[in-house]
Amino acid sequence: MSKNQKRRQENVRLASAPPSIKLLCLTFKEIIMTQEQLTTISIAIASLSLAISFATLYFSQLAGPNVVANIGPYIKVFNGDYAKGISTGIYVPVSFFNKTVRSSVVKKTAVEIFLKKNDQKRYVIFGKQYSEFDSSSNSWKMRDIAYALPILGKSSIQKTIRYNWDMENQEKLLFEEGVYTFNFMYWIEGKENPESQSHELVFDSAAIKKLDEFIKNKKSTTVDVMLNRQMPLNKLMTKHESERMIGNQA
């Protein structure tokens, strides 16, 4: 006998049963259906919890390193090697953040610089050394050559990296007034292509005037240049400008 035939027989018997028996049978069926629904819901919740657990495990323990860089807010530019020609140096403050628990290595870094109105001529410079400011001599000093940087999981590291366009290059890197694109690149262990971020570098007339003066007097004094048209290091503001900057619109 098929299931449908059995179900029809049960329905016939139920139709001829006393009202109290009918009520009891219907109640029993509702209880069974409720239990089946609860079982389905419990399985769904357990599956969702298991999926969340696997996702948490992956992103916290198994996911590859995620290293991000933050540069600026300004860089320092200077010229030197006047006895043999002229070179151009750039100090870039960089913070690397590893957002996962797995350690990683920043193998090398580079910058790409070009004038926006002449983007066919691009200067690519790899990091040469890590530098630090020596307050006793009021000058920048070499701290180490630019070695690979190991970064532990959930940690950060800060460096000031010197990039040098050498005097031996026939094409000189001499900045002029205008807007430059400043691309910062860094290579992570295990990846062939670099991570890259693009910034805007604006040389106004005041910055160029300082650089020209230092070149004329054969000095290697640095000039601060802000990234991305950010607010200068010193600025006199009105009350309205100050409140707008800090978000106080009251």
- Is residue 100 within 8 A of residue 153, CB to CB? The reply is yes
What angle, rounded to 10 degrees, do the helices at 3-16 and 19-57 form?
140
Question: Distance between CA 112 and CA 122 in Å, rounded?
Answer: 7
Please state the pTM of the whole predicted model: 0.73
pLDDT of res. 188: 95
Q: In this structure, are 47 and 123 located in the same domain?
A: no
Q: In this structure, are 48 and 87 located in the same domain?
A: no
pLDDT of res. 51: 72
Question: Distance between CA 164 and CA 74 in Å, rounded?
Answer: 17
Question: Distance between CA 161 and CA 18 in Å, rounded?
Answer: 92
Provide the number of structural domains found in the chain: 2
- Ranges of residues in the chain with a pLDDT under 70 are 1-38, 41, 50, 53-63, 231-233, 248-250
Helix, strand, coil % in the chain, rounded to nearest 5: 30, 40, 30
User: 210: domain range?
Assistant: 67-226
Q: In this structure, are 46 and 131 located in the same domain?
A: no
Last residue of a domain, one of 62, 86, 108: 62
pLDDT of res. 14: 47
Q: In this structure, are 53 and 164 located in the same domain?
A: no
pLDDT of res. 239: 84
Q: Is residue 196 part of a domain?
A: yes
Can you tell me which residue has the tokens 């209880």?
31
